[in-house]
DNA sequence: CTGAAAGCGCTTACAG
DNA sequence: CTGAAAGCGCTTACAG
């Protein structure tokens, strides 16, 4: 009548052997007669025996089969739709999944609006995205961690060479003969500032001034900013956008203003996401997948030094 | 000298109490003097004691703290970059994460080139994406499962009303006065066929014939297909693309052919991903997030009937 | 409040 | 090959 879970002892009793033999018959089967093995397995099947993972783990010392190691990807983003709207996150997952292929490690995704407190038993490792320094430091005290983008001191991180990327964009425009250059930069974040920095430095080196506006990495804002840029300098022959999504807004503004791309105006974005490819947009490729992959590799083998800065690359498409 | 893990017995010994008292002091602290509690906790901290999860689980009968329930999202895709290239997957993750908010259930991501065999102890639930019927049926015998898109008979599923979406696209073009309509349909998959079906049926109902070509959901193919369509019928005033990425190829072909969008030619895509928004592309919105969310809800409470077909919605943007 | 003891369910030397 | 026994690390009645 009792509906309690069937245990090894039950199987052993029904099969008419000791628990030791039952255990051996079930695991590998070495050291038991074929007859006993067959009988025990048959009974275990019939009774629906499922070994108690914790007990097994305790007895063997090995971690239980059910509790594979796992790496958490902790994304802090107030926008619950972030994974839909920002290609970056998908690319991170791509890189992490690839680096984990063949390693029996689970990939757990945590998308949270605010930094979660350190809970339960720590995972094998964590990849921290947009994690403020304070909670990042707290995490760092429990298990291995690596951040995407600089985080708290002491927490290793991987990041793209944003400055170099900005430089590459500027160099591309200059070497293709553009002279009246506009730019829609990003918001006030380290990453956006670095891109801007690299871009302006190169332009200054080339003796060119830049007509610029600030955006927030969204299409709508970039669209308005580009219109404003055109009003300030109608002879613009190039516009740099701090991210691909912004570049889409720029393209639309140019189209509406009757400018041909790339004939009249060249456009270069930043990110190199699928969006750039789909829109035939020249863009500075940011190795998001590679960042995530090397983050995972660092977690798997902390002896490897964290790679810190990864190079970007210019991808020329139809817009420049 | 030994570097073995510190256990409760060690803490108890150093603190000068029994293991029982040490255990009580650490868990809740009821039934121990404040003094003992303080001392034990201090020692545990100093020694870096971490309770052995399996042992605790075995002793209490409750599942170990570390082994939270989990829902697996199993994506079968031969392209290791799929998560970067296809917005659909990111949207699925968004929906699943949102539906899981507040439930202490882990979200595990499995991206595999081919259906994995059923391994270890089954998760709380699985969401199957692109899973062929045979392995889907095998999974169905171990734990709760739900597929995105129809799968094996007996496996519950959620899917968008693709046919209705195709119908909506056609209706939009017809009611906005388009009469010479082209279409770049998708590959030979149920989902693409349904979209095509709905589209053609509506057009036939309106007494219009459609100049169509087949694509494979990529930009390059759609670009070529659109060029071909224009060659066959230069007076085309609208083109439907079976997915947003294809629509991007169509837009480029139109631009190069000197057609203005939407003045000369209207374009409508399908998916309603961030791409459509960024490109200001009219599109049939497919509720990917909602599909995933209701899949999760079904897993959490199988008493709820699976929703099966979710309605699509036309989003009109600048391209039509 | 405190500790000796039993027990959680399984595995694995050890003897036979 | 087989079984009695000890043990994995912790918790929790039970007595005191």
Query: pLDDT value at position B61?
Result: 76
Tell me whether the CATH fold assigned to A69-160 matches the one assigned to A162-287: yes
Give the C-alpha separation, A97 to A290, whole Å: 11
Q: How far is the CA of B22 from the C1' of D16 (A)?
A: 19
**What pLDDT score was predicted for residue A4?**
67
| Distance measured from the CA of protein residue B17 to the C1' of nucleotide C1, in angstroms | 12
CA distance B56 to A9: 21
Q: Which residues of A touch B288 (CB under 8 A)?
A: 84
At B2, is the pLDDT very low, low, confident or very high (cuts 50, 70, 90)?
very low
Alpha helices in B105-189 (DSSP H): 133-140, 162-175
Q: Which residue is nearest to nucleotide C11 (CA to C1')?
A: A59
B190–chain A nearest CA distance, Å: 24
Nearest CA in chain B to A79: B94
Domain extents in chain A: 8-60, 69-160, 162-287
The answer, yes or no, to whether residue B66 has pLDDT greater than 60, is no
pLDDT digits (tens, 9 = 90+) for A59-111: 887 766 556 788 999 999 999 999 998 899 999 999 999 999 999 899 999 99
Among candidate residues B292, B83, B107, the one with its CA nearest the CA of residue A87: B83
Residues contacting strand D at CB < 7 A? Answer: A 17-21, 24, 30-33, 35-36, 55, 58-59, 61; B 5, 7-9, 19-20, 23-24, 26-27, 49, 51-52, 55-56, 58-60
- Which of A63, A84, A109 is opposite residue B109, by nearest beta carbon? A109
Rounded-to-10 torsion of CA A250, A252, A258, A262: 60
User: pLDDT band at B68, cuts 50/70/90?
Assistant: confident
Whether residues A108 and B70 touch (CB distance < 8 A) is answered with yes
Residue whose CA lies closest to nucleotide D2 C1'? A21
Three-state secondary-structure class, residue B319: coil
Nucleotides of strand C within 7 Å of the protein's CB atoms: 1-5, 7-13
- Identify the pLDDT of residue A2: 42
Which pLDDT score is estimated for A44? 87
Q: From start to end of A43-136, where are the E strands?
A: 69-76, 105-112, 125-129
Cα within 13 Å of Cα(A180), Cβ side:
10
How far out from the chain centre does Cα A195 lie?
A: 20
- Residues B283 and B268: their CA atoms lie apart, in Å, by 5
Give me the count of residues in chain A. 320
Pick the CATH number of B8-60 from 3.40.630.30, 3.60.130.10, 1.10.260.40, 3.40.470.10: 1.10.260.40
Mean pLDDT throughout B39-45? 88
Q: Give the integer Cα–Cα distance in Å for A151 and A214.
A: 24
- Asked if B97 lies within 8 A of A108 by C-beta distance, the reply is no
Could you give the angle at which helices B219-232 and B244-256 cross, rounded to 10 degrees? Answer: 50
Which is higher by pLDDT, B55 or B192? B192
Tell which wins on pLDDT, B119 or B186: B186
- Residue B285, strand partner residues: B271, B313
SS3 A227: helix
* The pLDDT value given to residue A64: 60
pLDDT digits (tens, 9 = 90+) for B133-149: 999 999 988 789 999 99
CA distance A172 to chain B (A): 23
Q: How high is the mean pLDDT of chain A?
A: 91
Going from the C-alpha of B3 to that of each of A58, A121, B47, B115, the distances in angstroms are 19, 20, 12, 42
Right CATH number for A69-160 from 3.30.310, 3.40.50, 1.10.3120, 3.30.980? 3.40.50
**What are the two backbone dihedrals, phi and then psi, of residue B182, each rounded to the nearest 5 degrees?**
-110, 165
Q: Give the residue from A310, A312, A293, A311 showing the smallest Cα distance to A146.
A: A293
pLDDT attached to residue B296:
96
Is omega for the bond preceding A262 within 30 degrees of 0, making it cis? yes
Q: Residue B157: its pLDDT value, please?
A: 94
Q: Taking CA atoms, what residue in A is nearest to B64? A: A54
**For position B52, what pLDDT does the model report?**
83
C-alpha–C-alpha distance, residues B316 and B304, integer Å: 33
Residue B64's pLDDT is what? 60
Nearest by CB: A274 against B55, B84, B110: B84
For chain D, which bases have at least one atom within 7 A of a protein Cβ? 1-5, 7-13
pLDDT at A65: 52
A97 contacts on B by Cβ (under 8 Å): 80, 83, 109, 111
Please name the residue ranges forming H helices in chain B: 8-15, 19-26, 34-47, 53-60, 82-85, 87-100, 133-140, 162-175, 190-205, 219-232, 244-256, 274-278, 288-300
Mean pLDDT of chain B: 91
Distance from CA of A178 to the nearest CA of B (A): 22
At residue B306, the pLDDT reads: 74
3-state secondary structure of B253: helix
What number does CATH give the domain B162-287? 3.40.50.2300
Peptide bond into A182 cis (omega under 30): no
Q: Are strands A181-185 and A238-241 parallel, antiparallel or unpaired?
A: parallel
User: Nearest by CB to A275, which of B82, B90, B275?
Assistant: B275
Q: Grade residue B65 by pLDDT with cuts at 50, 70 and 90.
A: low
* B1 has a pLDDT exceeding 50: no
Ranges of chain A with pLDDT below 70: 1-4, 63-67, 120
């Amino acid at each position: 009548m009792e509906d309690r879970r069937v245990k090894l002892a039950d199987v052993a009793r029904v099969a008419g052997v000791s628990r030791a033999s039952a255990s051996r018959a079930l695991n590998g089967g070495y050291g038991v007669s074929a007859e006993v093995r067959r009988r025990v397995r048959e009974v275990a099947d019939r009774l629906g025996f499922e070994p108690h993972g914790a007990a097994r783990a305790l007895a063997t010392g090995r971690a239980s089969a059910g509790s594979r190691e796992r790496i958490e990807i902790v994304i802090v983003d107030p926008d619950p739709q972030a994974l839909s709207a920002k290609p970056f996150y998908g690319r991170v997952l791509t890189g992490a999944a690839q680096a984990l292929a063949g390693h029996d490690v689970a990939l757990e995704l945590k998308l949270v609006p605010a930094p979660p407190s350190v809970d339960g038993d720590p995972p094998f490792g964590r990849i921290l995205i947009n994690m403020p320094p304070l909670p990042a430091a707290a995490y760092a005290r429990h298990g291995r961690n690596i951040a995407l983008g600089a985080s708290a001191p002491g927490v290793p991180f991987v990041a793209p060479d944003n400055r170099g990327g900005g430089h590459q964009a500027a160099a591309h425009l200059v070497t293709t003969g553009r002279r009246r250059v506009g730019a829609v930069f990003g918001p006030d974040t380290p990453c956006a500032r670095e891109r801007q920095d690299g871009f302006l430095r190169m332009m200054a080196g080339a003796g060119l001034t830049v007509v610029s506006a600030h955006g927030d990495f969204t299409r709508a804002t970039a669209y308005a900013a580009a219109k404003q840029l055109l009003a300030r300098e109608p002879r613009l022959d190039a516009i740099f956008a701090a991210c691909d999504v912004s570049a889409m807004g720029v393209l639309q503004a140019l189209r509406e203003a009757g400018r041909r791309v790339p004939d009249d105006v060249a456009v270069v974005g930043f990110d190199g996401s699928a969006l750039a490819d789909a829109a035939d947009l020249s863009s500075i490729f940011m190795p998001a997948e590679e960042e995530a992959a090397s983050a995972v590799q660092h977690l798997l083998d902390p002896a490897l030094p964290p790679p810190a800065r990864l190079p970007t690359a210019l991808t020329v498409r139809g817009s420049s």
